[in-house]
A = this chain, B = another copy of it.
Amino acid sequence: MRSFVLLSLLVGLAAAAAEFQLDQEGLEWLQVIGEGWAAPLDGFMNEEQYLTCLHYQHIVTSGGKMVPMAVPIVLPLDTATKSALEKESIVTLLSPKGEKIAKLSGLTFFEHRREERATRTFGIGADPQHPYIEKIMAGGEWLMGGKVEMLVDRIKFNDGMDQWRLTPAELRLKFTGMAADAVFVFQLRNPVHNGHALLMQDTGSKLKEQGFKKPVLWLSPLGGWTKDDDVPLDTRMAQHHAIIKNGVFGDIDVVLAIFPSPMLYAGPREVQWHASARVQGGATHYIVGRDPAGMKHPTKNALQPALGDDLYHQWHGQSMLKLNPILMKQLTLLPFHFASYDKVAGKMAFFDPKRKDDFVSISGTKMRKMAKDGEEPPPGFMDPEGWKVVSNFYKGVKVEL
């Protein structure tokens, strides 16, 4: 996926400039690092950072402080590329299109122990049926660490969505400009239905009841790589834009901005990454539901069928946020209330166990299936313009942004 070009053409006394071309995932991680989402990490991980991340889900500052950093941010390369680059002190990173995009300095090279990375990160065997483990196992034998210095003002994708790409510093400025005294994040990688909107409205009201004057909802869709059967980013952004425009969040102020990270599907480990990165952008409150960043077990828990089909325990994601003593000094965790389709009321409503037969659950999978099959969801499930965006995607209609 990656290749290198060694420019041996010497101009006067200028040294040869080694180059390394990033693939799309590498570019996404570069954006994550360059924009400061992973601060204080300021480059692709060296071995010490990688090891503490893998073992502790934190990195350690030079002062000996643990800082949350739950997922490895690394640059794999093959042996031939490593041999060519290891004499260099600086490498120029190229985008997949060949643009010089950043410098990497203070280079270090260390073993990419892929099985160990996969098993410690995901808590399952190194099974390439897990889509991110597939990527890990296909990576080179080595990892290259180094400090990132951006050569471009910002990474642009020219895909009609750059207006929603704000850096953590820009987001903080924006929230300050809005006089926000609480910023509550909703991380998502699915279209937003009216159950989500109800929860967000309710959360905003509760924050006001707690005394906050100006709670702001930061709708923060994940913008990097996702697995093939997820709804693509452009469809999701068009859907989010439509529903905000149509007022589904009521009188709560909303900021819509893309989180540039790739998705890992690493459950209780990844939810901590999702939260710590948003702290950089000014988040003060975080909402987490059941099984965040989860997926089905690739072999349906064949080793222990009694655990069911899910890869992770549905509440371990929330537990790991609650149990992280450093994150919990930075963020307040907000309760998640499950909203479902209330057949009697004809709208999404908080689930009421006393009349549970009145409710129908419409999961993300079920929603995608309905859209694929050209079925209409019950009225009140989703803002109609938002639904049209989703269903158009499955009809092959080009998204308008």
Residues of chain B within 8 A (CB-CB) of A325 are: 60, 64-66
Contact for A141 among B52, B115, B306, CB less than 8 A: B306
Size category of the binding interface on chain A: 35 or more
Residue among A51, A123, A328 having the largest count of chain B Cβ atoms under 10 Å:
A123
A361 at interface (Cβ–Cβ under 8 A)? Answer: no
A245 CB, nearest partner CB in chain B, Å: 40
- Binding site of A, secondary structure by majority: helix, strand, loop or mixed? helix
- Complexed CA–CA distance, A114 and B123 (Å): 10
A261 at interface (Cβ–Cβ under 8 A)? Answer: no
A307 at interface (Cβ–Cβ under 8 A)? Answer: yes
**CB under 8 Å from chain B, chain A span 19-67:** 47-48, 51-52, 55-58, 60, 64-66
- Complexed CA–CA distance, A119 and B122 (Å): 8
A360 at interface (Cβ–Cβ under 8 A)? Answer: no
A75 CB, nearest partner CB in chain B, Å: 18
A53 CB, nearest partner CB in chain B, Å: 10
Contact for A113 among B64, B307, B319, CB less than 8 A: B307
**CB under 8 Å from chain B, chain A span 103-137:** 111, 113-116, 119-120, 122-126, 137
A301 at interface (Cβ–Cβ under 8 A)? Answer: yes
Contact for A323 among B57, B60, B116, CB less than 8 A: B60
A189 at interface (Cβ–Cβ under 8 A)? Answer: no
Residues of chain B within 8 A (CB-CB) of A114 are: 303-304
A204 at interface (Cβ–Cβ under 8 A)? Answer: no
- Does A320 contact B124, Cβ atoms closer than 8 Å? no
- Complexed CA–CA distance, A48 and B316 (Å): 10
Residues of chain B within 8 A (CB-CB) of A141 are: 304, 306
A172 at interface (Cβ–Cβ under 8 A)? Answer: no
Residues of chain B within 8 A (CB-CB) of A328 are: 64
- Complexed CA–CA distance, A328 and B48 (Å): 15
Residues of chain B within 8 A (CB-CB) of A55 are: 57, 268-269, 320, 323
A174 at interface (Cβ–Cβ under 8 A)? Answer: no
Q: Given A66-B66, A313-B111, is A126 in contact with B303 using a C-beta cutoff of 8 Å?
A: yes
- Complexed CA–CA distance, A269 and B65 (Å): 20
Q: Given A52-B323, A323-B51, A323-B52, is A116 in contact with B126 using a C-beta cutoff of 8 Å?
A: no
- Does B48 contact A319, Cβ atoms closer than 8 Å? yes
Residues of chain B within 8 A (CB-CB) of A113 are: 123, 304, 307, 313
- Does A119 contact B111, Cβ atoms closer than 8 Å? no
A49 CB, nearest partner CB in chain B, Å: 9
Interface string of A359-387 (1 = CB under 8 A from B): 00000000000000000000000000000
Residues of chain B within 8 A (CB-CB) of A303 are: 114-115, 126, 137
Partner-B contacts on A (CB < 8 A): 47-48, 51-52, 55-58, 60, 64-66, 111, 113-116, 119-120, 122-126, 137, 141, 268-269, 301, 303-304, 306-307, 313, 316, 319-320, 323, 325, 328-329
Starting from the known contacts A55-B323, A115-B304, A141-B304, 19 additional A-B residue pairs (CB-CB under 8 Å) come to A51-B319, A51-B320, A55-B57, A55-B320, A56-B56, A56-B57, A56-B58, A64-B328, A66-B66, A66-B325, A113-B313, A114-B304, A115-B301, A116-B123, A116-B124, A119-B125, A125-B125, A137-B303, A141-B306
3 closest residue pairs by CB, A with B = A125-B125, A116-B123, A119-B119
